[in-house]
């Protein structure tokens, strides 16, 4: 994966992931856009925390790289509240310190990304992963690509007990 991000954009993702892992904010939070800038809010919080220097462009850059999932909460004609969560790719980028890797030539994604998704996912996400892994087996069998099939077997051994 290649990240075309500025250091400031990477630092923004780092700050979100770090705060989540320290249980300072939940995995799903809100960014509220106001006249005075951006503010962070989440269920159970007491008020709003100013996000100095955070702009819509910075959040959209992270979203463009699939590191954040952003859903505007449209109220009236404005989209002043965004529901935000970190994606599996976002956690993988944080964990690898944005190490740029070459994408998997067979799947277009790396095993590291799949494992990060598995570790962070809900039960429903994991059921989807099992379906995806089954698909990998089918493709490996049908194409008879030994390396592809072998990698699929190794992946299943890593993620299933």
Per-residue pLDDT for the chain (161 aa), expressed as one digit of tens each?
A: 788 899 999 999 999 999 999 999 999 999 999 888 999 999 888 889 999 999 999 999 999 999 999 998 866 556 689 999 999 999 999 999 998 876 544 445 555 555 665 566 666 666 666 676 676 666 665 555 555 556 666 666 766 65
**103 found inside a domain:** no
Q: How many domains does the chain have?
A: 2
At 146 the pLDDT is 56
**100 found inside a domain:** no
Contact 90, 62 (CB under 8 A): yes
Last residue of a domain, one of 53, 71, 95: 95
Same domain assignment for residues 70 and 140: no
At 61 the pLDDT is 95
**2 found inside a domain:** no
**128 found inside a domain:** yes
Question: Is the whole model's pTM more than 0.75, yes or no?
Answer: no
The parent domain of residue 51 ranges over 7-95
At 65 the pLDDT is 92
- φ, ψ for residue 39 (rounded to 5)? -135, 145
Same domain assignment for residues 50 and 20: yes
**102 found inside a domain:** no
Same domain assignment for residues 19 and 70: yes
Site of tokens 């106001």: 34
First to last CA, the chain: 28
At 136 the pLDDT is 65
At 156 the pLDDT is 66
**106 found inside a domain:** no
Same domain assignment for residues 90 and 117: no
Same domain assignment for residues 80 and 137: no
The three-state secondary structure class of 109 is coil
């Amino acid at each position: 994966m290649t990240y075309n991000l500025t250091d400031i954009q990477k630092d923004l993702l780092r700050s979100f992931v770090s705060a989540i892992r320290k249980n300072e904010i939940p995995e799903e939070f809100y960014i509220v856009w106001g006249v005075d800038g951006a503010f962070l809010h989440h269920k159970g919080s007491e008020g709003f925390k100013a996000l100095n220097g955070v702009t819509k462009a910075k959040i959209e850059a992270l979203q463009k790289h699939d590191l954040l999932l952003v859903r505007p909460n449209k109220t009236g004609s404005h989209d002043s509240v965004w529901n935000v969560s970190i994606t599996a790719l976002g956690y993988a980028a944080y964990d690898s310190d944005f190490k740029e890797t070459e994408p998997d030539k067979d799947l277009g994604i790396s095993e590291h990304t799949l494992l990060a998704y598995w570790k962070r996912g809900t039960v429903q996400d994991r059921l989807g992963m099992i379906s995806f892994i089954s698909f990998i087996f089918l493709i490996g069998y049908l194409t008879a690509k030994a390396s592809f099939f072998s990698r699929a077997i190794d992946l299943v051994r890593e993620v299933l007990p």
